[in-house]
Amino acid sequence: MEPASGGTGPGLERFLGRLAAAEGQSSLLLLGDLNAYGAEDPIRTLTGTGMVDLMAARLPPEQRYTYVFRGESGYLDHAMASPGLAAAVAAVQPWPINADEPPFLGYAAPGNAAAYFRPDPFRSSDHDPIAVDLRWP
């Protein structure tokens, strides 16, 4: 991965470079709960190294949420891609299986949702996972 211009410091850039080299790939895709919203420093640091925030790049603001807390929505879960891999992205979409579920279906209180439990992925977390479709030439 080529170093990005900007002042994010060399530490993260070196780490991403080592990760790419260790895997023998210049394409990186970071997925998951990074515990930071899109405009917070950790995400700005990643985009400062050249990583592309796929949620921000591909989705309108009203579709960019993976988490709902006290009626407020946002995205703590991210799909960040190196520039070359970002060019191969066909689609990005949160999989709406968790964030919009009502609190009474949650698992915060013992036995709270036992009657509603099903052995499927719905309400398996309080965040929606993100799906990324890639198109290879």
Question: Phi-psi bin for 46: left (phi > 0), alpha (psi -120 to 50), beta?
Answer: alpha
For residue 1, what pLDDT is reported? Answer: 44
For residue 102, what pLDDT is reported? Answer: 73
Enter the tokens of residue 74. 């946002």
Segment 80-90 mean pLDDT = 95
The full set of domains in the chain, from first to last, is 10-134 (3.60.10.10)
For residue 106, what pLDDT is reported? Answer: 59
Do 20 and 50 form a contact (C-beta atoms < 8 A)?
Answer: no
> What is the C-alpha separation between 78 and 112, in angstroms, rounded?
29
For residue 108, what pLDDT is reported? Answer: 58
Q: What is the pTM of this model?
A: 0.78
Inform me whether the pLDDT recorded for 57 exceeds 80: yes
